Structure 1
């Protein structure tokens, strides 16, 4: 794409569960700085794709290549979620997976564990290096929370946050790992129209602020069409269509398989 650099390339990706091919020969490309949507009807295989890209599932066929922050190409088919997190891939989940019994601040702090500079004995002996590291981590946590409007709730239990703020906290926690590729699985699920509008603005902001590439799954077509530059449409585990939003919302096959009458509201 006009000389832009690839960050993720998926070739002929497939996965089989008990004889059922949930995703079949998927091909997908993401370029640095893009915001791309993955859409399709329920059961199309979208979350299964995310689970393969984030190391939750191991593909049974095909190849996933990721270019890290140093420009090194890595085949990541067999990497664990923790290994992928370390090289720059982070995700959120459709069902919120916060540590509800921990504070808002601690949820973010946990995601920063790989950035710590101290050794175990520094913590045991309470060395100066330990306290300096603690202060640095606290500052990072507060900066992130402030970007999401959560700085005043740092010490509250995450389970006590309103639903929309829990969604924000999950994205905040994903960003704490300093990814270059962020996978958002239905970030607007359960949100009201006002919260969805705020989320659109937030996603656009963090993309620019953190120099991110974003791939998102979403059923709210106004959100998708409003912020995504390109779209991939899945149906029965295969790519039905891909292109810019204007092409997708007028594609007869996409309208038949997914958009239906909603296409008229997107015109």
Structure 2
């Protein structure tokens, strides 16, 4: 699809952030189009999660602007919006370090994300009106449906902290999807997973992208996953973009090989020439 035919969803224009005189990210720009699956890669400490924090409202850029097309098709500057406000607009994310409510059930972790769509007010909840009961039924049905897509319906009543690591990752993604996002930000979703779990994750990301008509931006160090599912890649090093392009182009980029991919990719690139 030609770029002119794509629908812009999010644009970051020359965003930078400074912490105590340290420029953690410098002049980062991104045009993200609806339906894309883009990877953001680079060495540890390159600024990848800091970029996610700026896009999801945890940090406000020191310089530059971030604009987003919300659910109503309105393009607006989102600098300074809170994570909750951005979630209502259609941006959801997961975290490198899993952030579940461990002492709550699997179902309750998902229902928390569904809460913003409730129609019942506090009085309805207090006196258990028909509106409240309808809300509860819909939330339960949505929760069960989401868990069935992840083959976790049999874990609905378990405490989140008791799930195996791979299923905790799935639950965090499931919770993010519960808010019906337009854009899903995945921060190292394969971290801590074994080879089999990573294969399943690749299939899952491809599935949910199609099933939920999502745009996905992910951070990941697992190159098999990145090269296998991402349509294009951006590479950060010391807070700056050093390369952007198709996976094959990135894999053979000498600057990326030197800064991040290493000698094994240099051999691959040399053999392809």
Q: Normalization by structure 1: what TM-score? A: 0.98
Partner of 2:50: 48
- Equivalences for 1:225-244 in 2 at 5 Å? 225-244=227-246
**CA deviations over 1:8-66 (Å, ceiling 9, x no partner):** 11101000001000000111111000000000001100000000000111110000010
Partner of 1:166: 168
* Mapped partners of 1:89, 1:262: distance in 2: 36
* Mapped partners of 1:64, 1:108: distance in 2: 28
* Mapped partners of 2:186, 2:4: distance in 1: 26
2:99 corresponds to 1:97: yes
Say which SS state the counterpart of residue 44 (structure 1) adopts. coil
Partner of 1:80: 82
Partner of 2:117: 115
* Mapped partners of 2:110, 2:87: distance in 1: 14
Report how far residue 265 of structure 1 moved: 5.9
Partner of 1:258: 260
* Mapped partners of 1:218, 1:189: distance in 2: 8
* Mapped partners of 2:78, 2:138: distance in 1: 31
* Mapped partners of 1:265, 1:99: distance in 2: 43
Q: Which moved more, 1:119-128 or 1:212-221?
A: 119-128
* Mapped partners of 1:125, 1:102: distance in 2: 24
Q: Which runs of 5+ in 2 are unaligned?
A: none
Q: Which runs of 5+ in 1 are unaligned?
A: none
Partner of 2:143: 141
Report how far residue 132 of structure 1 moved: 1.3
- Equivalences for 1:198-209 in 2 at 5 Å? 198-209=200-211
Report how far residue 262 of structure 1 moved: 3.5
Say which SS state the counterpart of residue 111 (structure 1) adopts. helix
* Mapped partners of 1:120, 1:221: distance in 2: 48
Say which SS state the counterpart of residue 99 (structure 1) adopts. coil
* Mapped partners of 1:201, 1:256: distance in 2: 30
Say which SS state the counterpart of residue 45 (structure 2) adopts. coil
Question: Which residue among 36, 39, 62 is the counterpart of 1:37?
Answer: 39
Partner of 2:219: 217
Q: RMSD between aligned alpha carbons? A: 1.0
Q: Normalization by structure 2: what TM-score? A: 0.96
Report how far residue 150 of structure 1 moved: 0.9
Report how far residue 119 of structure 1 moved: 1.2
Q: Which moved more, 1:14-23 or 1:113-122?
A: 113-122
2:131 corresponds to 1:129: yes
Q: Where in structure 1 do 4 or more consecutive aligned residues deviate above 6 Å?
A: none
* Mapped partners of 2:264, 2:78: distance in 1: 37
Question: Which residue among 24, 49, 67 is the counterpart of 1:22?
Answer: 24
Say which SS state the counterpart of residue 159 (structure 1) adopts. helix
Report how far residue 261 of structure 1 moved: 2.0
